[in-house]
Amino acid sequence: MFTKVSKSVYCRIGEKGDSNNGFILCNDFSVFVDTATYPDQTKRDLEDMKKVTDKKVKFLINTHYHPDHTFGNMYFLDIIAHAACRTTLKERIPFYKEEVQKEERFKNLKIKLPNIVFTENMMLMHTPKIELTHFGGHTEGSITVYVPEEKVLFSGDLLFAGYHLYLGDADIQEWTDALETILQWDIKKIIPGHGEICDKKEIKKHIDYLKTFYQNLKDMKKRHSKEDILKNTDLLELPEMDGENRIVRNIEAQYDKA
């Protein structure tokens, strides 16, 4: 079910840290932001949306290409995303189809690509106004969706509130710079890519997390082998949070970059 975040913004928080999504009510239509991991959940989300509004969805916005935010694209007509999001999702279609072919909930999956793309930033000049800003960081094509009039931000996976971040495709410096910029914005509520609704305090936590991960990994490389760090992830001195299974994958992805 959807939770009302502000006058025009609603969101669904994914169970057990699964991806979040939501929608924005404009004057004559609505704008959906991200989909659920499973197509059947996205279908339910669209039915639940009808309990809130009878406004038709004009656009879906993908904050990045990862499947837990795009595998419900098949239910939308016009999809907005950064050009790099579309390019990477297209490249990964064969891999994703191979990965999910045996899972029943993906039986009827059709991976639909965004058909409206931009390369810098984009503004939807409706009421309320919606600002799409390209930051990269989490992925090359990561964007945020900001409703300045209501001081609400969809951060996509630039924020994992209460969970270890996923750094598999990340540029840590770019990500940190993005969060430093967003920290200056006038924001009251943030719908993260994963985790509960939060505020700018969560941004500061993420900046600290990214700096700690990068610096400690860099330091540990001088004294320990990659194998030792992978076996003893507590060497990184990261905070205790859910999603610890990501730490090993993050070390593998970032080891040569630190």
Q: How far apart are CA 73 and CA 202, in angstroms?
A: 28
Q: Is the pLDDT of residue 243 over 90?
A: yes
The pLDDT value recorded for residue 31 is 98
Q: Which of 31, 4, 36, 34 has the alpha carbon at shortest distance from 17?
A: 36
> Which tokens is 142 given?
């990561």
Q: What is the mean pLDDT of residues 148-157?
A: 98
Taking the C-alpha atoms of residue 194 and residue 116, their distance in angstroms, rounded to an integer, is: 25
Query: How confident is the model over 218-235, as pLDDT tens digits?
Result: 999 999 999 999 999 999
Domains delineated in the chain: 3-202 (3.60.15.10)
CA–CA gap between residue 201 and residue 204 (Å, rounded): 5
* Strand ranges (E), 148-248: 152-160, 189-194
pTM above 0.95, yes or no: yes
> For residue 115, what pLDDT is reported?
98
Residue-wise pLDDT tens digits, 84-134: 999 999 999 999 999 998 899 998 899 999 999 999 899 999 999 999 999
Given this model, what pLDDT does residue 102 score?
86
DSSP character at residue 19: B
**pLDDT tens across 167-217, in order?**
999 999 999 999 999 999 999 999 999 999 999 999 999 999 999 999 999
Question: Residue 14 — very low, low, confident or very high, per pLDDT cuts 50/70/90?
Answer: very high
Which amino acid type is present at position 109? L
The answer to whether the bond into 94 is cis (omega within 30° of 0) is: no
Dump strand ranges (E) for the chain. Answer: 3-4, 9-12, 21-25, 30-33, 57-61, 79-82, 116-118, 122-124, 130-134, 143-147, 152-160, 189-194
Helix axes 200-221, 245-254, angle to 10 degrees: 60
Q: Which tens digits make up the pLDDT trace of 16-56?
A: 999 999 999 999 999 999 999 999 999 999 999 999 999 99
Place of tokens 């409206």: 116
Q: Which of 137, 142, 25 is nearest to 81 (CA)?
A: 142
